Structure 1
Amino acid sequence: MRGSDLDIMFVNRDKEVYDVKPCLHQHKSCLSMDTEDVKPGFTQLRLDYFVDQFLFENCEQFANKIYLSSKLWKQHFSFNNKFIIHGPCISDRNGLFDFAKCLHCKTWVFAARHWIARSNNSWPSYDVKQSIMRQGVLFVPIGNIYHDAVSGWLMLVTFFYKTKQYAKALRIIMYSLSKCTFDKLHRCMSDINHQWLKLKSVQNMCIVRLWKLLLVDTINFYEYSHLLPDELLLRKEDTHVSFPCSAYAYVLKFLCHYHLNNGRQCQADLDDLRLVIEEHYLMADLRMIASAYYLLGIALQIAGDAESAQRAFLLATKNT
């Protein structure tokens, strides 16, 4: 199709995935599907046996088990400046192609059994389904789909902002900010947060519930991202940028009110943003504090306060 890119899947033949019990092979590394606490159609890949050091180096340990890390897996293949990570794929910087490095399961997995049993009146036909089943299943390491809810909502807010739907964006921002409470987990937490994690009610939660309900992570944009607001465009030397959700939410709130000509509310948003940064609210990492000051500088610049904007940019530089 004109204007679209080329999608390519490379199948790694010296590693195999098994649905139930792995059949250890002398010359192949083996991974098993672990579908506990994952959405339908997704799985974690647990390492059972390896013959190459490369696979082991791309795994991480969790709860005394070793799992393939999608992040390490993709980073290995984006080894130079010619390629960038684009979702589950590796892309060239010109955006001409996406390629995904896949793992193969030779059998039809149990989780996809409903697809086989669906009505024969619809496509594909019985013969086509049998042919597909004989090919097995391909697995693409895509990353965490159970990430924190706040950054997910803010990404949706960013979409509404980019499409000039400011009223909708503001409603979701208010909901997102209601989730940015002090008891949330975040990077470089204080001792108080670590003590809170020892509560029995928290320890009884599965990891998925912790991610969804209690984590407030950073919001990340990469080079060539179409979602990043125009006011926050990357510098030429940057390939990605990360912002603390608490500060990013208030900047988007300010930008929405600015475009709606709500001058009084713009000033209130700037005051809130200053307070969030001064209190280091849900941001303890120096890099996140620096990026928050950068956001404040941009907002002050837009508001016409060049002197305060300059001070904010200097504080951003000081904390890097």
Structure 2
Amino acid sequence: MMNTVRDDLSSGKRQASITSGSFGEGLEMRGGDLDIMIVWKEIEVCGDTSILLNPNKSYFAMETDFTQPGFTQLRLLHSSHYNIFQLCDERGANFYFSNTAFKQMVSTKNFAIVHGPCLSDKEGIFDLAVCCQSKSWIAPAMQWITRSNNGWPGIDVKQSIVQHGLWKLLRIDSVLFSEYSTLLPDDLKIKLESNPCSIPPLVYAHFLRFLCHFHLNNVRKCRDSLEDLKLTTDEEYFIANPEDKAFAYCILGIAFELSGDIESAKQAFVQSWRL
């Protein structure tokens, strides 16, 4: 369940949101995190500057002649938006995308720590990378398509990646349990009085993790899981609406109650009731 909800893609008109990370790859290890990519669709990076430009978008050209392998400079080709120029450094007659200015613009109170190309929360649980998209297969990766190998990925998988990209689509907006569902843990069945319920997936995943460590008497991991559940609920990570948030606080209250922290449980239940 943890791996499922942490590997997700959702897409809108202006941006796409992709979540992954060590949990999304099937690994639950100390130091594992949740990676969040926000792809801006209004900015496009291209290797071929002869493409037809959409006047409503901003375009950058890749320049790799004077960069280290795996890196590129992005030169502005076209933009009708003034704020794009504010994200660039002027060099002679050209404007180049500024990674520093971009991260300063998108940083928030929750994501204020610079972690390589990402912005992280102070606990180091979440990494946020705001990205620009490229719809064409870039020149530095051309050899990957034709190089010979006898293992994975095969030629059919490679062609699919080149044509469609690497995005994996797996959307879970909520986990809906019908009345008397056998998939609900007994600890929840008792509290929910057998009513149908819809639980935010990340909240439910953290709660299941907490329950596992609670019943195995893993005190430290139980405490860590409870802190993750509280952080997810307080910061509204992947919680879509007030109803889901109210239910998340109810789940948090149940977890606190099971752990013996009655005062924190009362506070969580009050928060749920207020919403």
Report which of the two has the higher share of helix. 1
Q: TM-score, normalised by structure 2?
A: 0.47
What TM-score, normalized by structure 1, do the two folds share? 0.41
